[in-house]
A and B are shown apart, each in its own frame.
Chain A
Amino acid sequence: MSRLDKQAIVAGPGYSRWLIPPAALAVHLSIGQVYAFSVFKNSLVASFDTSLTAIGWVFSISIVMLGLSAAVLGTWVERSGPRKAMLAAALCWGVGFVVGSAGIASGQLWLLYLGYGVIGGIGLGIGYISPVSTLIKWFPDRPGLATGMAIMGFGGGALIASPLSNRLMGVYDPDFVPTDPGAVASGSALAQTFLTLGIVYTAFMLVGAALVRVPPGHGDDSTAEHSPGTNGALVRASQAIRTPQFWLLWVVLFCNVTAGIGILEQAAPMIQDFFREGGDSTVSAAAAGGFVGVLSLANMIGRFVWSSTSDRIGRKPTYVMYLGVGLVLYLLLALFGSSSTVVFVALAAVIISYYGGGFATVPAYLKDLFGTLEVGAIHGRLLTAWAAAGVAGPLIVNGILDRVGEPGNLVAADYRPALLTMVGVLAVGFVANLLIRPVSDEHFDHDAHSANEDRIAARQEATR
């Protein structure tokens, strides 16, 4: 048995469960950097002397790899335990940056695709799901709060990475002025920034791996006491993907993410276009940047607040809010968003808080439906919805906007078809959520279920 195995990291009776959220945050704050990738775009375009589209592929590859690796490696993460998974994630994420740095230094774009996109993307997938199942097991009474804290970190990671990266590029290239939106850092400064981030993030994630423990009794899945879902559900990942509930929830997540991307994809030019009068916008470029900041905050706060709220009001009603109220807010944004900037910003901020909340609440929804038996692996498979939405969302929005012109030179009415399309997408998700019912017992792992019942009875007998 190695020190990385699940059996080696079983907490002692007095181990504080409040050490687990910071362990999870150390990982999620690091991998959340991916949402700040755009900070490098201008410099990478100049360094490789290529198009924005070619650089945009780096981000797309990493998000697709996130979904694929979470789906394929979810069962391995579940069985190996959080420490081994966090170590693997730290190494992949760090090596991804180092290989990317070598690609920038040598002018080989394919190395950036391979490093940050493929290897880093695998680190993202493993890292994202690595603490989720453990948090749910430590906080069976408040799973939404627990996963909300960790997944909030993914939103928070971008808030840290953006100014940190700008500062590093400024240190390595004195001519780089971060406050200038068109500023370009040298290739050498970019390579050194990637290398530094790779080292810092690896070290930070390893602290999380060192801190994390599984709760007493959870060193061996076959003898652990699991929290069943509704009607006593304990479902294995291989069986969960054969249930309509899994695929309905997949549609729910896909629709919620796609709708959020509808705003996030074009946030800065969108607010300027909504308030354009006679060719000029009343919203400055600096104010548009501020709007992106407000959305980042709403995204992060929504993850924690709404996911925690779901512990009180239930998972299904929470998604009724995300999708139903979100749909109405989207409609208001399309029809009346241009009436005032306050209305526009308020509507967009609430919509994006629902987008973040949708990510953070879904592990607890899975726990309610399938139990904790293999909830991490099921979550991994569900994240393919994120990867799919990451591709579909920009395609839908950009495809519609391309027909009317270039964002940054449009008016509010030009956005209406795209926004109304998103209303339709949310309506599909809303119906899918309403159709979710408790999982039929034909999908339960009956052996695990009866063994679990025996363990619960034995524990209750022992404590009597």
Chain B
Amino acid sequence: MTTSDRTDGAHDASETTPPLLVGAAWLLVGVPLAYGLWQTLVRASALFTG
């Protein structure tokens, strides 16, 4: 452990991040974003059909 690490204080207990957690985090923000994108695409399509 380096000096700067010691002065940083607490660390996470886990050594590596589970890939599932990374996937879940991206899903959490990706799903609403995909919903918004889809709704906007539907709205934008009126430009070509309306």
Q: Does A29 contact B (CB under 8 A)?
A: yes
CB-based contact B50/A16 at 8 Å: no
Q: Does A110 contact B (CB under 8 A)?
A: no
CA distance A25 to B36 in the complex (A): 14
Q: Does A174 contact B (CB under 8 A)?
A: no
CB distance from B41 to the nearest CB of A (A): 7
CB-based contact B10/A10 at 8 Å: yes
Q: Beta-carbon contacts of B1-34 to A below 8 Å, as 1s and 0s?
A: 0111101111111111100011001101100110
Query: Using a Cβ–Cβ cut-off of 8 Å, how many residues does chain A contribute to the interface with B?
Result: 55
Chain A residues whose CB sits within 8 angstroms of the CB of B5 once the complex forms: 10, 216-217
Interface residue SS majority, chain A: helix
Chain A residues whose CB sits within 8 angstroms of the CB of B36 once the complex forms: 156-164
Q: Does A13 contact B (CB under 8 A)?
A: yes
Interface size class of B (residues with CB under 8 A): 35 or more
Q: Does A313 contact B (CB under 8 A)?
A: no
Q: Does A23 contact B (CB under 8 A)?
A: yes
Given contacts A19-B17, A284-B50, A290-B45, contact A217 B2 (CB under 8 A): yes
CA distance A451 to B37 in the complex (A): 47
Chain B residues whose CB sits within 8 angstroms of the CB of A79 once the complex forms: none
Name the CB-closest residue of B to A5: B9
Instruction: From B17, B37, B47, give the contact of A291 (CB < 8 A).
Output: B47
Instruction: From A19, A160, A219, A284, give the contact of B7 (CB < 8 A).
Output: A219
Chain B residues whose CB sits within 8 angstroms of the CB of A284 once the complex forms: 46, 50
CB-based contact B10/A8 at 8 Å: yes
Instruction: From A10, A153, A217, A294, give the contact of B29 (CB < 8 A).
Output: A153
CB-based contact A159/B37 at 8 Å: yes
Q: Beta-carbon contacts of A7-28 to B below 8 Å, as 1s and 0s?
A: 1101111111011001101100
Stretch at the interface among A59-67, A220-228, A241-249, A436-444: A220-228
Chain A residues whose CB sits within 8 angstroms of the CB of B49 once the complex forms: 287
CB-based contact B48/A290 at 8 Å: yes
Q: Which 8 pairs of residues, A with B, have the shortest CB-CB distance?
A: A219-B8, A290-B47, A159-B36, A14-B16, A7-B9, A286-B50, A293-B44, A160-B36
User: 24 A-B contacts, Cβ less than 8 Å apart?
Assistant: A1-B9, A1-B10, A7-B10, A10-B10, A12-B14, A14-B16, A15-B16, A16-B16, A18-B26, A19-B22, A25-B29, A156-B37, A163-B35, A218-B8, A219-B7, A220-B9, A289-B46, A290-B47, A293-B40, A293-B41, A293-B44, A293-B47, A297-B37, A459-B2
Which residues of B does A touch, CB under 8 Å? 2-5, 7-17, 21-22, 25-26, 28-29, 32-33, 35-37, 39-41, 43-50
Which residues of A does B touch, CB under 8 Å? 1, 5, 7-8, 10-16, 18-19, 22-23, 25-26, 29, 153, 156-164, 207, 211, 213, 216-220, 223-225, 284-287, 289-294, 296-297, 345, 455, 459, 462
